[in-house]
Amino acid sequence: MKLTLPSGPFKAYLFDCDGTIVDSMPLHYVAWKTALGEWGCAFDEQLFYAWGGLPVAEIISTLNERQGLQMPVEAVAERKEALYYEMLPQLQAVPEVLEHIVLSHGQVPFAVVSGSTRDSVTASLEALQLLDRFETLVCAGDYSRSKPDPEPFLLAASRLGVAPEDCLVFEDTVMGIEAATAAGMASVKVLQPWERKSQG
């Protein structure tokens, strides 16, 4: 699967992390199912993918409200992250995105813009020896409004000193693409794991 990029030139590339740079969504889902299952909380796989890009704490709080549960947000978040870290040795990059990181590194600055925690993003990128490719990481806690709000992408552009219209966003979720569009940025959609299988 080749990614077709919109015509540039672009002065910066902004990448979502999970499901975009790293093929981590299946691993994250296993971690979620285990951590939430310990509290009798259901988390449908389609909903998990629809909520891709939302901060961990936000997901737990929303599930609490929807299912009338009182899971301790911080404890469940820590448990979920710990389970994900245990699976990091299985982690692989998304090949079509890795290709652009390798080709364009050093030509334009890169940023990661993620709903995951800084620790999780750092661990994922270190596992694939990609962390040093990125000038800045914008993670959960760095902004007050998460995707689909444009704030995370606008923060990354400002940290890189590049105008929003000169940035290209790589994203795997509808929410992420909406955030990029709201920020006035061009974007390229990375296929979800099941979409890649059906086209592979």
pLDDT at 8: 86
Mean pLDDT computed over 175-183? 97
Task: Summarize pLDDT for 55-80 with one digit per residue, the tens.
Answer: 999 999 999 999 999 999 999 999 99
Task: Please tell me the pTM assigned to this model.
Answer: 0.92
- What pLDDT band is residue 197 in, cutting at 50, 70 and 90? low
Task: Summarize pLDDT for 20-56 with one digit per residue, the tens.
Answer: 999 999 999 999 999 999 999 999 999 999 898 889 9
Cα distance between residue 45 and residue 42, in whole Å: 10
pLDDT at 196: 67
- What pLDDT band is residue 90 in, cutting at 50, 70 and 90? very high
113 — phi, psi (to 5°)?
A: -125, 105
pLDDT at 53: 85
pLDDT at 185: 98
> Would you please indicate which residues are annotated as catalytic (active-site) residues?
16
Which numeric CATH code is attached to 12-24+93-199? 3.40.50.1000
Judge whether residue 158 has pLDDT over 90.
yes
CB 77 within 8 A of CB 56: yes
**CATH 3.30.70 given to domain 25-88:** no
pLDDT at 2: 81
Task: Summarize pLDDT for 95-147 with one digit per residue, the tens.
Answer: 999 999 999 999 999 999 999 999 999 999 999 999 999 999 999 999 999 99
Cα distance between residue 121 and residue 98, in whole Å: 16
Mean pLDDT computed over 164-172? 97
166 Cβ contact partners less than 8 Å away, ≥ 6 residues apart: 10, 11, 12
Domain boundaries, the chain: 12-24+93-199, 25-88
